[in-house]
Amino acid sequence: MRTTPRVTRTLAVVGALTLGLAACGGDDDSSAGGSGDETITVGFVAVGPEGGWRQANEANVQDTFTEEAGFDLRYAPATNLDQRSQIDAFTSFVDEGVDVILLSATEGAGWEDSLRRAQEAEIPVILIDRGIEPDDTDLYVTRIAPDNFEVSTAVAEWAVSEFPDGANYFVLEGPAGVSVVNERNRGWDDTVGAVPGLVKTGAQTANWSTEEAKSVFETVLRANNNDIQLVFAQNDEMGLGAAIAVEEAGLTPGVDVKIATIDGTRPALEALAEGRLSFVAEYNPLFGETALEVVNQVLAGEEVEPYIVVPSEVFDSPEAATEALPTRQY
């Protein structure tokens, strides 16, 4: 557990908040932010448009850190997923003297100088979803995210049980250099790599894209004479692209080729309910409230864990997907 230096101005705001809540009848509302004429300013260095999961995650953060809750959230999505634009936004937030920075990095490496600058300015940084590499926990307060290693391990364990006699498989990866891609690869490889009958025919990035995944997997099927029985797609969109490629090759997804994905978006659960996907591991994007509570704790000088894991679940059958769909929020 850790604490982080606080500037006096921010402590005063949170102190006023605590007194204000006590005067309002003692309600325990850990999700409230600033009060009175002052608000807590949050710089959100975001990824921006990148598929259904990202849209749900960033909308959830924006819907949580509202003016009504006492926050001034300054949303800065990356320009075309460019890290340079993120670093520029991060630097601007430090120069402006925001109270806290939320960082969801397009690339894992290259953040040391920016994080040290925030540290010198006594501005705490909270990682949202994606980690940094190397993972120097002295440079940020905490990371809030589902556990990629655990999620991909769940997919791998399903694959091992589904193919006791072995199979040829292919991996559709996210962009190179992204921490979640490396984490998902480690979780998968540590389990599947130990099973001799599961043979890796290759791996290629499809940049989280349905269209790119369709194109990539069309080529893979042709190169292997359709002799692929399993696809591990590191997000739902790529898994759906693989399903289209399977269908256009005259094969049946879920029968001839089983496809497992990560994220748990509505389109993926619909495809699982229809039998076009075979396994979907949720990577829960709805942790805005958790982030808000952590921001309040950090600004109050309280200790927080260096990694706060967001609970997620798995869907291993059409029935499980059908049951979950009525309440799926993204």
CATH of the domain at 108: 3.40.50.2300
* Amino acid at residue number 121: A
pLDDT for 39-52, tens place per residue? 999 999 999 988 89
Identity of the highest mean pLDDT range in 16-20, 21-25, 49-53, 87-91? 87-91
Q: Classify residue 238: in a domain, yes or no.
A: yes
pLDDT for 238-297, tens place per residue? 999 999 999 999 999 999 999 999 999 999 999 999 999 999 999 999 999 999 999 999
Helix (H/G/I), strand (E/B), else coil: 273: helix
Q: Classify residue 279: in a domain, yes or no.
A: yes
105 and 138 part of one domain? yes
Q: Report the mean per-residue pLDDT for the chain.
A: 90
Q: Classify residue 324: in a domain, yes or no.
A: no
Cβ-based neighbours of 82, under 8 Å, separated by 6 or more: 106
106 and 85 part of one domain? yes
Cβ-based neighbours of 202, under 8 Å, separated by 6 or more: 170, 171, 220
163 and 198 part of one domain? yes
pLDDT more than 90, % of the chain: 83
Q: Is the dihedral of CA 89, 95, 98, 100 positive or negative?
A: positive
129 and 243 part of one domain? no
Strand 279-282 with 314-315, pairing: antiparallel
164 and 138 part of one domain? no
**Which pLDDT does position 33 carry in this prediction?**
59
DSSP one-letter code for 234: S
192 and 140 part of one domain? no
Q: Classify residue 1: in a domain, yes or no.
A: no
| Number of separate domains in the chain | 2
124 and 158 part of one domain? no
The whole-angstrom separation of Cα 132 and Cα 174 is 16
pTM of the full structure: 0.85
**Which pLDDT does position 50 carry in this prediction?**
85
> Which tokens is 54 given?
């990202």
Residue 205 has pLDDT above 70, yes or no: yes
Question: Whose structure tokens read 């509570």?
Answer: 293
Q: Classify residue 267: in a domain, yes or no.
A: yes
Show the 3-state SS of 51-91: CHHHHHHHHHHHHHCCCCCCEEEEEEECCCCCHHHHHHHHH
Q: Which structural domain range is residue 197 located in?
A: 148-283
173 and 90 part of one domain? no
**Which pLDDT does position 30 carry in this prediction?**
43
246 and 292 part of one domain? no
pLDDT for 91-125, tens place per residue? 999 999 999 999 999 999 999 999 999 999 999 99
153 and 234 part of one domain? yes
The whole-angstrom separation of Cα 234 and Cα 146 is 14
132 and 12 part of one domain? yes
End-to-end, the C-alpha distance of the chain in Å comes to 32
**Which pLDDT does position 27 carry in this prediction?**
39
**Which pLDDT does position 69 carry in this prediction?**
95
pLDDT for 2-15, tens place per residue? 444 333 223 233 33
Cβ-based neighbours of 2, under 8 Å, separated by 6 or more: 141, 142, 303, 304, 306
Residue 17 has pLDDT above 60, yes or no: no
- Where does the pLDDT of residue 29 fall: very low under 50, low under 70, confident under 90, or very high at 90 and above? very low
**Which pLDDT does position 177 carry in this prediction?**
84
Residue 61 has pLDDT above 90, yes or no: yes
**Which pLDDT does position 255 carry in this prediction?**
97
- Where does the pLDDT of residue 37 fall: very low under 50, low under 70, confident under 90, or very high at 90 and above? low
Q: Classify residue 320: in a domain, yes or no.
A: no
Radius of gyration of the chain (CA): 22
Q: Classify residue 325: in a domain, yes or no.
A: no
Helix (H/G/I), strand (E/B), else coil: 99: coil
215 and 270 part of one domain? yes
Helices (H), the chain: 8-23, 52-64, 83-96, 112-120, 148-162, 179-192, 210-223, 236-248, 266-274, 288-299, 318-324
